[in-house]
Structure 1
């Protein structure tokens, strides 16, 4: 399905109190249904699920790797990071970082701002006996890092775009899952502030020859994203695709590297 980037551009402030629809926010119509399907994978209690052949604990209020097309797309882009120093930013349950270690990464740092996510990621590191190669930190982006450098930085970014005055809770959350899902910021990035901060900081934490790999989709704001990439002196290459034609969606993984 073709995507018109202009649909994702900021809209004039809505003077009414109602939540804007996904279409008004620039999302493709299929997103409503797809998000409902994804939400139903959340449970009221911690569960164990298999992601890319690896069993992982999944805790409440943590982005759920099982059933998330973005996670699977990023894992495809991860490849076999044997011998690499990897940083899994916004790690959530730790799926990508743990799997990177199991695929031979020399060391993996996992970071998330959410204490729930940090606890979940640490549980999965322990579950697979990876304490010697994995370290989990509670960090607002790179705040908990100093002079470390990485060969590969991965981030399942919240690429749903909303302008300053648009509600960030417009996605259709089933009533029985209220309080079980992560905060809206795990899905929606107002003005792409988080993406902007991540990209501007991440490039300084790359080792020589290092790259960033992150998620995106055909319903993200490509114009704003590409402007951020260019402003930071990086190039963008698509390294993985995961189409969901039944919803008219396509998930992407981009590689960003210094020009």
Structure 2
């Protein structure tokens, strides 16, 4: 990762670390709850982009991996999905998703689970669309020598939200998602050019997938451009 890109991620992570108390934010014309240690979708434009880009199966089933605040999962319910499952490895993120499902009146359609990737699901849980806004940074910015405690736990969860050394988590996703698709089901991945495109392609193909860009946007910032992508995984 280039020095400039590394500094970008560190700055974004530090903005998240400044959130030490529950708060609300406004996004997409609605208010949302945000708990400390949870990825804040209002701090980058990607949440609004993916909310518009994702093809929600009206009357069908939708699964979001890494739900965070639940912004996308709740939006899926609002856009007509009959059954939505939101999964996050962080207990606080799972709680945050539940709070927003309740706030927006879709708790009857949004099931929230806490666990690593697809582990909380049964073999009978299958979906028309599975979406993951992945932790695309192939590096780690956490401090393994940091003292234990609530603050360290929050930092560890934030590190997981941004970073995936060696794309080990991506490997789990590519390996497990096929078992939870309905016939004709689609797999969508949120990604940016802060990630490693070549490694993603290689790891995906090792597990029988080919990432194909479906939507793309470029944001212009004082320190340069940043590309956001919605990738669809097609079987190879």
TM-score computed with the length of structure 2 as normaliser: 0.86
Alignment of 1:73-88 (within 5 A): 73-88=49-64
- Do the aligned partners of residues 89 and 28 (structure 1) sit closer, same or farther apart at CA in structure 2, a change above 3 Å counting? same
Runs of 5+ consecutive residues of structure 2 not aligned to the other structure: 145-150
Paired residue for 1:144, among 120, 131, 135? 120
Residue by residue over 1:105-140, the C-alpha shift from the partner in whole angstroms, topping out at 9 and shown as x without a partner, is 111001111110011000011111112111001111
Give the 5 Å matches for 1:213-232: 213-232=188-207
How many residues of Structure 1 are paired with residues of Structure 2 in the alignment?
Answer: 225
Name the SS of the counterpart of 1:243 in structure 2.
strand
Select which of 36, 49, 62 maps to 2:11. 36
| Pair 187,167 (structure 1): closer, same or farther in 2 beyond 3 Å | closer
2:114 and 2:209 map into 1 onto residues whose CA distance is: 27
Q: Does 1:250 align with 2:230?
A: no
- 1:194 and 2:187 correspond: no
Q: Gaps spanning 5+ residues in structure 1: where?
A: 1-25, 171-176
Pairing 1:126–2:102 present: yes
Structure with the largest fraction of helix: 2
Q: For the structure 1 residues 37 and 235, does the alpha-carbon distance in structure 2 shift closer, same or farther, using more than 3 Å as the test?
A: closer
CA deviations 1:111-170 (Å, max 9, x no partner) are: 1111100110000111111121110011111111011100111111111013xxx76459
CA RMSD of aligned residues (A): 2.3
The higher-RCO structure (CA 8 Å, 6+ apart) is 1
Give the superposition deviation at 1:192.
Answer: 0.3
Paired residues for 1:98-137 under 5 Å: 98-137=74-113
TM-score norm. by structure 1 comes to 0.79
Equivalent-residue separation in structure 1 for 2:133 and 2:165 (angstroms) = 16
Deviations 1:35-75 (A, max 9, x none): 52574365322111122223211110111111233323322
Matched, 1:209 2:184: yes
Mapped partners of 2:2, 2:187: distance in 1: 25
Cα gap change, 1:161/1:217 in structure 2, threshold over 3 Å: closer, same or farther? same
Q: Please state whether the residue corresponding to 2:92 is helix, strand or coil.
A: helix
- Higher alpha-carbon Rg: 1
2:136 is the alignment partner of 1:159: yes
- 182-191 or 26-35, which deviates more: 26-35
Change in Cα spacing, 1:69 to 1:132, as seen in structure 2 (3 Å) is same
Between the aligned partners of 2:182 and 2:86, the Cα distance in structure 1 is 17
